[in-house]
């Protein structure tokens, strides 16, 4: 027991590499320049993480040696890496995931349709939705019970959280509807010039 668990950053890397084989530099740019910027992007995080993934056999890096090219190590997902990614994407939704702001769940979602297909993605969204519903119920009952005794800023901070989760809840509805539509009329689900990820 206690085999070195893959970090969230590791899974983010796995997911991006699955979308498109990439070098460490490519991945750093994605974290630095896109909406995925909440993850590191520093070389001291990315390169060791890639080494770890490679030593676990989840990715494999090949040095590109074209003429007049800078050396760069292009990483591809191995089949073991693919199944590790799918296992992570298929994990049941814990309420702890919701409590921590649901960022990891959103990350999973953004890789999910490519790896598991639209049906699994819709199922995931439905589970996400009911987890949010349960969590919201708790927050709202807490608020209604304690609002009178709470300091104003505490009450407002809690209300901000509630609004945020309610917004996410509405979003899951919207996302499910959108997915259903795209299934019945699947014209151009992915564009050819797709560069991957949630930029």
Partner DNA sequence: TCCACCATGTAACTGGTTACATGATTAC
Partner DNA sequence: GTAATCATGTAACCAGTTACATGGTGGA
Q: List residues binding DNA (CB under 7 A).
A: 2, 4-5, 7-10, 23-26, 28, 40, 42-45, 47-50, 52, 68-73
- Find the shortest distance in angstroms from Cβ 99 to a second copy: 6
- Which helix (H) or strand (E) segment holds residue 61: the answer is strand 59-64
**DSSP symbol at 77:** E
- Which helix (H) or strand (E) segment holds residue 173: the answer is helix 152-184
**DSSP symbol at 68:** T
Instruction: Decide whether 71 or 199 has the Cβ nearer to DNA.
Output: 71
What CA–CA distances, in Å, run from 133 to 14, 54, 99, 163, 188?
30, 39, 12, 12, 33
- Find the shortest distance in angstroms from Cβ 18 to a second copy: 12
Residue pair 107/11 in contact (Cβ under 8 Å)? The answer is yes
- Which helix (H) or strand (E) segment holds residue 73: the answer is strand 72-77
Given DNA, a second copy, none, residue 157, with its beta carbon under 5 to 8 Å by kind, binds a second copy
Given a second copy, DNA, none, residue 26, with its beta carbon under 5 to 8 Å by kind, binds DNA
- Where along the sequence are the contacts to a second copy (CB under 8 A)? 35, 37-38, 99-101, 103, 106, 109-114, 121, 139, 142, 146, 148-161, 163-164, 166-168, 170-171, 174-175, 178-179, 182, 189-191, 193-199
């Amino acid at each position: 027991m206690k085999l070195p668990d893959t970090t969230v950053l590791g899974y983010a890397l796995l997911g991006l590499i699955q979308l498109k084989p990439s070098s460490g530099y490519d991945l750093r740019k994605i974290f630095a320049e896109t909406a995925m910027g909440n993850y590191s992007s520093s070389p001291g995080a990315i390169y060791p993480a890639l080494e770890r993934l490679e030593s676990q056999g989840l990715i494999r890096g090949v040095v590109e040696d074209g003429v007049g090219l800078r050396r760069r190590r292009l990483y591809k997902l191995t089949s073991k890496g693919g199944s590790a990614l799918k296992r992570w994407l298929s994990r049941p939704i814990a309420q702890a995931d919701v409590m921590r702001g649901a960022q990891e769940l959103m990350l999973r979602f953004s890789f999910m349709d490519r790896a598991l297909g639209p049906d699994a993605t819709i199922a995931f969204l439905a589970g996400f939705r009911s987890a949010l519903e349960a969590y919201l119920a708790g927050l709202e009952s807490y608020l209604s019970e304690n609002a009178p005794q709470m300091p104003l800023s505490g009450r407002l901070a809690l209300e901000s959280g509630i609004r945020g989760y309610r917004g996410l809840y509405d979003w899951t509805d919207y996302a499910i509807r959108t997915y259903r539509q795209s299934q019945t009329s699947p014209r151009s689900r992915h564009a050819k010039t797709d560069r991957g990820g949630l930029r």
